[in-house]
Amino acid sequence: MIRNLEPSDLDAVLDIWLDASLKAHDFIDPTFWRSQVENMRNLYLPASETYVIERETRVVGFYSLLDSQLAALFVAPDCQGQGMGKQLIAHAKTQRAVLTLAVYKNNQPSCQFYLSQGFVVTHEQTDEQTGQPEYLMSSVGTHP
Protein backbone atom coordinates (compact mmCIF):
# COMPACT_ATOMS: atom_id res chain seq x y z
CA MET A 1 0.00 0.00 0.00
CA ILE A 2 1.25 3.48 -0.89
CA ARG A 3 0.16 6.34 1.34
CA ASN A 4 1.22 9.77 2.55
CA LEU A 5 4.11 9.99 4.99
CA GLU A 6 2.99 10.25 8.61
CA PRO A 7 5.15 11.64 11.45
CA SER A 8 5.43 8.14 12.93
CA ASP A 9 7.10 6.96 9.68
CA LEU A 10 10.01 9.38 9.90
CA ASP A 11 12.56 7.15 11.65
CA ALA A 12 11.84 4.24 9.29
CA VAL A 13 12.16 6.52 6.25
CA LEU A 14 15.46 7.94 7.49
CA ASP A 15 16.80 4.42 8.17
CA ILE A 16 15.83 3.34 4.64
CA TRP A 17 17.37 6.47 3.16
CA LEU A 18 20.68 5.99 4.97
CA ASP A 19 20.94 2.21 4.42
CA ALA A 20 20.04 2.44 0.73
CA SER A 21 22.28 5.48 0.18
CA LEU A 22 25.27 3.71 1.68
CA LYS A 23 24.61 0.62 -0.45
CA ALA A 24 23.95 2.43 -3.74
CA HIS A 25 26.62 5.09 -3.42
CA ASP A 26 29.72 3.23 -2.30
CA PHE A 27 31.75 5.65 -4.45
CA ILE A 28 30.97 8.45 -1.95
CA ASP A 29 32.49 8.58 1.55
CA PRO A 30 29.96 7.10 4.03
CA THR A 31 30.52 10.03 6.40
CA PHE A 32 28.82 12.30 3.84
CA TRP A 33 25.59 10.30 4.02
CA ARG A 34 25.67 10.09 7.82
CA SER A 35 26.19 13.86 8.00
CA GLN A 36 23.01 14.43 5.96
CA VAL A 37 20.52 12.53 8.14
CA GLU A 38 19.49 15.58 10.19
CA ASN A 39 19.13 17.69 7.02
CA MET A 40 16.84 14.99 5.63
CA ARG A 41 14.82 15.01 8.87
CA ASN A 42 14.61 18.78 9.36
CA LEU A 43 14.89 20.30 5.88
CA TYR A 44 14.37 18.01 2.89
CA LEU A 45 11.51 15.78 4.02
CA PRO A 46 9.42 18.61 5.54
CA ALA A 47 9.77 20.60 2.30
CA SER A 48 8.68 17.65 0.15
CA GLU A 49 5.51 15.74 -0.60
CA THR A 50 6.45 12.23 0.54
CA TYR A 51 4.73 8.88 0.08
CA VAL A 52 5.65 5.56 1.68
CA ILE A 53 5.07 1.99 0.57
CA GLU A 54 4.23 -0.62 3.19
CA ARG A 55 4.49 -4.37 3.29
CA GLU A 56 2.59 -5.97 6.17
CA THR A 57 2.56 -2.67 8.14
CA ARG A 58 6.33 -2.16 7.68
CA VAL A 59 7.46 0.89 5.72
CA VAL A 60 9.83 -0.54 3.08
CA GLY A 61 10.30 2.40 0.73
CA PHE A 62 9.40 5.97 -0.07
CA TYR A 63 9.59 8.74 -2.61
CA SER A 64 9.59 12.51 -2.24
CA LEU A 65 8.43 15.15 -4.69
CA LEU A 66 9.61 18.75 -4.67
CA ASP A 67 7.42 20.44 -7.26
CA SER A 68 7.92 18.18 -10.31
CA GLN A 69 11.29 16.85 -9.15
CA LEU A 70 11.49 13.28 -7.89
CA ALA A 71 13.85 14.35 -5.13
CA ALA A 72 14.15 10.90 -3.56
CA LEU A 73 13.16 7.30 -4.25
CA PHE A 74 14.51 4.65 -1.92
CA VAL A 75 13.63 1.05 -1.11
CA ALA A 76 15.00 -0.85 1.89
CA PRO A 77 17.97 -2.91 0.67
CA ASP A 78 16.36 -6.19 1.82
CA CYS A 79 13.28 -5.39 -0.31
CA GLN A 80 15.00 -4.26 -3.50
CA GLY A 81 14.33 -6.19 -6.69
CA GLN A 82 10.76 -7.03 -5.64
CA GLY A 83 8.85 -4.40 -7.64
CA MET A 84 8.55 -1.78 -4.90
CA GLY A 85 10.49 0.84 -6.86
CA LYS A 86 8.31 0.28 -9.92
CA GLN A 87 5.18 0.73 -7.79
CA LEU A 88 6.57 3.95 -6.32
CA ILE A 89 7.47 5.33 -9.79
CA ALA A 90 4.03 4.45 -11.14
CA HIS A 91 2.41 6.24 -8.20
CA ALA A 92 4.66 9.29 -8.62
CA LYS A 93 3.70 9.52 -12.29
CA THR A 94 0.05 9.85 -11.23
CA GLN A 95 0.96 12.84 -9.05
CA ARG A 96 2.71 14.94 -11.73
CA ALA A 97 2.41 15.22 -15.51
CA VAL A 98 6.20 15.31 -15.85
CA LEU A 99 8.87 14.18 -13.41
CA THR A 100 12.52 15.18 -13.35
CA LEU A 101 15.30 13.68 -11.26
CA ALA A 102 19.04 13.60 -10.72
CA VAL A 103 20.92 10.32 -10.34
CA TYR A 104 24.63 9.72 -9.88
CA LYS A 105 26.22 8.47 -13.09
CA ASN A 106 28.22 5.89 -11.09
CA ASN A 107 25.00 4.45 -9.65
CA GLN A 108 24.42 2.27 -12.70
CA PRO A 109 21.67 0.06 -11.20
CA SER A 110 19.55 3.16 -10.50
CA CYS A 111 20.37 4.71 -13.89
CA GLN A 112 19.22 1.52 -15.61
CA PHE A 113 16.12 1.37 -13.42
CA TYR A 114 15.03 4.89 -14.35
CA LEU A 115 15.72 4.26 -18.04
CA SER A 116 13.61 1.08 -17.83
CA GLN A 117 10.78 3.17 -16.37
CA GLY A 118 10.71 5.51 -19.35
CA PHE A 119 12.99 8.29 -18.14
CA VAL A 120 15.46 9.85 -20.57
CA VAL A 121 18.77 11.59 -19.85
CA THR A 122 18.43 15.29 -20.57
CA HIS A 123 21.72 16.62 -19.21
CA GLU A 124 24.89 15.66 -17.38
CA GLN A 125 26.38 17.78 -14.61
CA THR A 126 28.50 17.61 -11.47
CA ASP A 127 26.78 17.42 -8.08
CA GLU A 128 28.01 20.39 -6.06
CA GLN A 129 27.93 18.60 -2.70
CA THR A 130 29.86 15.48 -3.69
CA GLY A 131 31.74 16.44 -6.86
CA GLN A 132 30.27 13.34 -8.52
CA PRO A 133 28.91 13.36 -12.09
CA GLU A 134 25.15 12.96 -12.30
CA TYR A 135 22.51 12.62 -14.96
CA LEU A 136 19.42 14.78 -15.05
CA MET A 137 16.48 12.74 -16.32
CA SER A 138 12.91 13.46 -17.31
CA SER A 139 9.76 11.43 -17.78
CA VAL A 140 8.50 13.77 -20.53
CA GLY A 141 5.89 11.99 -22.59
CA THR A 142 5.87 8.84 -20.45
CA HIS A 143 3.04 9.56 -18.03
CA PRO A 144 -0.15 7.49 -18.37
Asked if residue 53 belongs to a domain, the reply is: yes
- pTM for this one? 0.93
35-66 pLDDT, tens digit each: 999 999 999 999 999 999 999 999 999 999 99
Q: Say what the pLDDT of residue 141 is.
A: 55
Query: Which structural domain range is residue 55 located in?
Result: 2-138
Residues of the chain with pLDDT under 70: 141-144
> What secondary structure does DSSP assign to 81-124, as a single string?
TSSHHHHHHHHHHHH-SS-EEEEETT-HHHHHHHHHTT-EEEEE
Residue among 80, 61, 73 at smallest CA distance from 16: 61
Is 59 within a domain? yes
Q: Tell me whether residue 143 is in a domain.
A: no
Give the model's pLDDT for residue 76.
97
Instruction: Report the CATH number that the domain containing residue 72 is assigned in CATH.
Output: 3.40.630.30
- Residue 12 and residue 46: Cα distance in Å, rounded? 15
3-class DSSP state of 6: coil
How far apart are the C-alpha atoms of 61 and 91, rounded to whole Å? 13
**Tally of domains in the chain:** 1
pLDDT of residue 96: 95
On whether the CB atoms of residues 74 and 89 are closer than 8 A, the answer is no
pLDDT score at 144: 45
